[in-house]
Each structure stands twice: as structure tokens, then as C-alpha cells.
Structure 1
Amino acid sequence: MRDRAGLSAQKLSDRCEELGFAIPRSTIANNESGRKEAIPVHEVAAIAAGLETAPASILFPLDEADQVPILPIVTLNPFEAWAWFAGNSWVHNTYLPRQLSQGRAFDESVEIMAVQLKLAELINTWSLMRHSTKRINQLVLNGGQSEVAQSMRDSLSKLEDEMRRSYDYLIEAGLQPPQTSPELTHDLGAVMTSPERNAADA
């Protein structure tokens, strides 16, 4: 993988250091040769970032073996290993030992992860739509089409409702919603504590 990226072990080591993790060239060589049996999570993340690839490709290379171990007693093909690592419930429930695959914990953790990712996407969309709505409102003041502005406001309102539901889900699960910039956090706070929401909660 490093060879395909056209990087020497030293260059990869330098990249990792630039990313905040100092990984000596000798450590990278030991990882690749198998002389080092266990690789810490922070090294996996740094090496993946240095190679501009997904962390799962460090653990489960797609082109180096037909089967890879995910546990001492469980071996999968690399594609299934990737799917399991990314939270695929079907792979988990199909291939892991029955005593590990029948509980709800895995499915619940995957559901929470999906809500977190969805909320992050909603926040990004909300920020873009909010900026566009402000511009359209300004055009209306200058004689623009009010129907377009109302349609944007309606879409923004629906998006905010969906964001609130995702926020509530995460908070009820004892988790913090995704972090945002201070400015966006302030604006989101106004949405999350709007009079309409407080009235609905009462």
C-alpha cells in the first residue's frame, strides 16, 4: 500500500509527524514486516491519513489476502471485514459467534452512529440553506419573488424539525451532538431552544 502511494517509509514517517503523531521509520517497517504484532489505534489513524486512505484499509487490505482475521476465531474476506468495521449489522449477525450476535448492543450502537452522521449532514445543509434564505429574503425586500422565499423558509423549518428530533435522540442516549463552530453553535442553540420547541415540550 505504501509502495502504491509512492512513499518511502521515511516519507510516511514524516507525514505522520506533520499530522501530530511521531511514528519512527523503524516502527513503520516493523508494522509492515509483521515483527510488531499489535498496532495502536492512533498509529492506524495516522498511517491511514498519511497514505490518504481509509483506516480500514490498514487493518483489512483489499488486495493482499483472500481472508483476514477480525478476531482470533473469526475470519472474513476483506470486503466483509470492511463492512463489519463500518458497522454492518448483517455481517455482525451472520458471522460472529451466536452468543455475540444476538444482542441489541451492536445494532443500537450502529443506529446511534447513523443518527450522529445524519445530524452532522443536516447541520451542514441547514447552514447552507440558512445563508441562501437570508439572501432570498433580501431579494424579496428589493422586489423579488416572495413565493420562492416562503418555499425556502418552509424547507428550512422542516429541516430544523428533523434536526431537533436527532438532537433529542442523541441526548436521550446520553450523548453529545456533533461539535460545530462557535458561531454555528450559537445559532443552533437558538433553533434548539426556540419558543415553538419550548411550547411543544410543555
Structure 2
Amino acid sequence: MEQDMDWNQRIARRVGREVARAREQLVDERGRRLSAQALADRCAGLGHPLDRSVIAKLEKGIRQTVSVADLLVLAKALELPPLALVFPVGYEEETEVLPGRSEHPVTALRWASGEGVLPPRGDAAEDVQSRWYETALFKIRHLLKSEETVRYNKRRASDHWQRAAGADSDEARQAYERMARNADEQVTGQEALLQRWRQELEEKGLAATTPPIFGEVPNNLLASQGGDRSPW
């Protein structure tokens, strides 16, 4: 039956399935499963009203289309990233990413989020990759990942210095100090690379600034979670 639907209908049905699945997993303020009406209320509160009947039709696969506006508001109301409603990672082995073309949901997600490309077909592999590397999205994503690496190594260095200060033997203190200095050296090198990368972006007319990270990981995370194990 689904094969007889057009692309818009198939996407709407998939989103509807994921909305229903997500709603089943949520509870309201009274500890009860989130109702369609409660979801509709959440959407209205976000500034894009969706009637309960519209949500019911979407979940039942009756609604034939779903707009980007609907998708964004539903995702926020369901406390999910929007693409989780389009590509059911963890629930399906294969999903239709383009009309008649199926890929693993993770592959589809990486492409849609700008993290990678769809596996090219035919002789276009090299051209697809080279074009992707030149996009603003790729360059900014690379900058973000580089900044994350710098923050991670700063936390590692801080954690090692703290452990060194509290070490109960000279041997342990010296080991932690070595690891701390190593992390500090990595930060120095990475920050120099980041500066060059930002200059390249600015030369291409791209914004080289990135937003602050919501919920920044505290410096003591590695110690509390055992992320960097003691050498002893």
C-alpha cells in the first residue's frame, strides 16, 4: 500500500509513525502518557497550533503531507531533534531517503544534518566529495569539531593537574603532570590551527564565529565519570 503513495505521503506517514512512537514514550506533568491533546497544546504554546485531529490523522497515516513548520514544532514539543522524526535511527535497518532510494537511517541522518554525503552512485564519487568539502556547512562543522577538541583537551589538562595536586605519591604526581603537560601542548597546537582555520573562513567571506555551547560539560566530568583512568 505504501508503495502506491507519492513521496509526500510516504514522508508524512513516516513522520506520523515517529510522532506516535515519541508521544508513547513521553509523560505529562501528572505522570500520564502524553495525549494527542497535550501535544497539540504544546504546539500551540510554541506558536504553531496543530489541532488534535490533525495530529491523530498524522499518526494514523491519513494526513498526506507534513510541512517543515509542522515538523520543527512537533519535534520541539516532543523533545526531539527534528530529524529524529524523519529518519528512525535505531528502529529501522533501512529508510527511504529519496524517492525510490533507501539507505541506513544513520547514513540518511548524516547527510541531512550536513555531517556527510550520500554514497554516490556511478562515477560521481570524487566530484560529490570535493563539492561537499567546499561548502560553508562543511567548513563551519569542521571548525565546531576543532573547538570541541580544544575544550576537551583543556578539561583533560585541568583534570590531570588537579589529580597531580592531590596525588599521594611522587610517582603518581609525576605521571599526572606528564599527562597534563601533554594535554596542554595539544591545546596550544590545536588553538594555532583554529586561528588559521578562522582566517581562511574569513577570507572566503564566511562567519568564523560559533555560538556558546548550551550545557557546557564541567571540568570535573572526566574525573567523576572515569573518562581518563588513573595510571595506577
What is the distance in 1 between the residues matched to 2:20 and 2:37?
12
Aligned to 1:56: 83
**1:169 and 2:197 matched:** yes
Q: In the TM superposition, what is the alpha-carbon distance from 1:85 to its structure 2 partner?
A: 1.6
Matched residue, 1:192: none
Matching residue's letter, 2:182: D
Any conservation in 1 of the 2:40–2:55 contact (CA below 8 Å)?
yes
User: What secondary structure sits across from 1:24 in the alignment?
Assistant: coil
| Corresponding residue of 1:195 | none
How much identity, in percent, do the aligned residues show?
Answer: 17
Residue in 1 aligned with 2:134?
108
Unaligned runs of 5+ in 2: 1-17, 25-33, 217-232
In proportion to residue count, which structure has more helix? 1
- Pairs within 5 Å for 1:32-111: 32=59, 33=61, 35=63, 37-40=65-68, 43-61=70-88, 68=96, 70=98, 75-77=101-103, 79=105, 80-86=107-113, 87-89=115-117, 91-94=118-121, 102=128, 104-109=130-135, 111=138
Q: How many residue pairs are counted as aligned between the two chains?
A: 173
Q: Given the two structures, how large is their TM-score scaled by the length of structure 2?
A: 0.52
Please list every run of 5 or more consecutive structure 1 residues that lacks an aligned counterpart in the other structure: 185-202
Cα contact 1:119–1:166 (8 A) shared by 2: yes
Map Cα deviations across residues 109-146 of structure 1 (whole Å, 9 max, x no partner): 36425413422422431442353255357558xx8835
Per the alignment, residue 198 of structure 1 pairs with none
- Point out which structure has higher relative CO (alpha carbons under 8 A, 6+ apart): 2
Q: AA paired with 1:3?
A: A
Which residue among 134, 145, 148 is the counterpart of 2:173? 145
- Aligned position for 2:21: 4
Q: Distance in 1 between matches of 2:95 and 2:161?
A: 54
Using the size of structure 1 for normalisation, the TM-score is 0.58
Alpha-carbon contact 2:153-2:183 (below 8 Å) kept? no
